[in-house]
């Protein structure tokens, strides 16, 4: 996906250093699942670049800006009775926050998934304190659908999870 100054594309060999540099941030880790490592080493980055494209139940993509891989965005396609549903997730290197980049990326990937897959509903689950992500989703046309009380235990605290959803028109 070419958005002009932003390109959303598969991870590629050569991205490892930029990935480790941008991902290694506790402010990112506090807002994502525990399987996302902290510290995020070059070894973690190399493993991710190797496996990111191999699972067909997911789209794992890099966000490229100024010729650098500055963040990630992806969807997980659900199965069984949830087969028309997908979950979206993303993070961005801190240097690039506040420029509207993720809003544009979420809008573009959401449209792409609705156009190219049999998906009718895309949702994101965010930790209750993540106001930046809530704002990104609102700006990208998602709406707050549910609050799952005490559904997330992160960094020693149990908090609510907010479910933001967008349906195919
Ligand atoms: C969430 C994240 C992806 C946002 O990326 P971004 O490119 O900076 O987002 P945008 O610039 O498109 O929009 C951010 C919006 O949040 C707002 N915002 C940022 N911090 C905020 C805060 N603490 N409280 C309220 N609003 C906040 C910004 O003002 C902006 O809204 P505006 O355009 O109305 O001013 C980025 O902060 C990040 O990677 N965070 C850590 C990982 C993460 O949270 N991932 C998502 C897990 S659900």
Res 97 pLDDT > 90: yes
The ligand 1 atom nearest the CA atom of 134 = 16
DSSP 57-116: TEEEEEEEETTEEEEEEEEEE--GGGTTEEEEEEEE-GGGTTSSHHHHHHHHHHHHHHHH
* Å from CA of 142 to ligand 1 middle: 14
CATH number at residue 161: 3.40.630.30
Is 63 touching ligand 1 by the criterion CB < 6 Å? no
Is 136 touching ligand 1 by the criterion CB < 6 Å? yes
pLDDT at 56 over 90: no
Whether 53 shows a pLDDT value over 90: the answer reads no
| In-domain check, residue 69 | yes
CB-based contacts of 147, cutoff 8 Å, min separation 6: 128, 160, 161, 162, 163
Whether 1 is covered by a domain: the verdict is no
Of 86, 80, 61, residue with least CA distance to 72:
61
Task: Specify the pLDDT at position 55.
Answer: 84
The reply to whether 127 falls in a domain is yes
Identify the band that residue 54 occupies on the pLDDT scale cut at 50, 70 and 90.
confident
Task: Identify the residue whose C-alpha is closest to ligand 1 atom 34.
Answer: 135
Q: What is the mean pLDDT of residues 53-57?
A: 86
Looking at residue 11, the DSSP 8-state letter turns out to be -
Predicted TM-score of the model (pTM): 0.97
CB 38 within 8 A of CB 26: yes
User: What's the total number of domains in the chain?
Assistant: 1
Radius of gyration of the chain, Cα coordinates, nearest whole angstrom: 15
If 0-12 CB within 10 Å is exposed, 13-18 middle and 19+ buried, where does residue 149 land?
A: exposed
**Is residue 69 lining ligand 1, measured as CB closer than 6 Å?**
no
Show the domain range for 118: 6-167
């Amino acid at each position: 996906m070419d958005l002009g100054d932003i390109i959303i594309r598969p991870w590629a060999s050569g991205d490892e250093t930029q990935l480790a540099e941008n991902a290694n941030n506790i402010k990112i880790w506090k807002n994502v699942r525990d399987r996302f490592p902290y510290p995020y080493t070059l070894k973690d980055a190399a493993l991710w670049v190797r496996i990111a494209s191999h699972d067909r139940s997911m789209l794992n993509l890099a966000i490229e800006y100024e010729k650098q891989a500055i963040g990630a965005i992806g969807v997980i396609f659900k199965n069984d009775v949830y087969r028309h549903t997908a979950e979206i997730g993303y993070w961005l290197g801190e240097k690039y926050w506040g420029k509207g980049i993720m809003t544009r990326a979420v809008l573009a990937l959401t449209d792409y998934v609705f156009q190219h897959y049999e998906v009718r509903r895309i949702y994101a689950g965010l930790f209750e304190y993540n106001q930046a992500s809530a704002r990104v989703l609102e700006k990208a046309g998602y709406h707050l659908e549910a609050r799952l009380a005490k559904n997330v235990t992160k960094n020693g605290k149990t908090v609510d999870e907010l479910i933001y959803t967008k349906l195919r028109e």
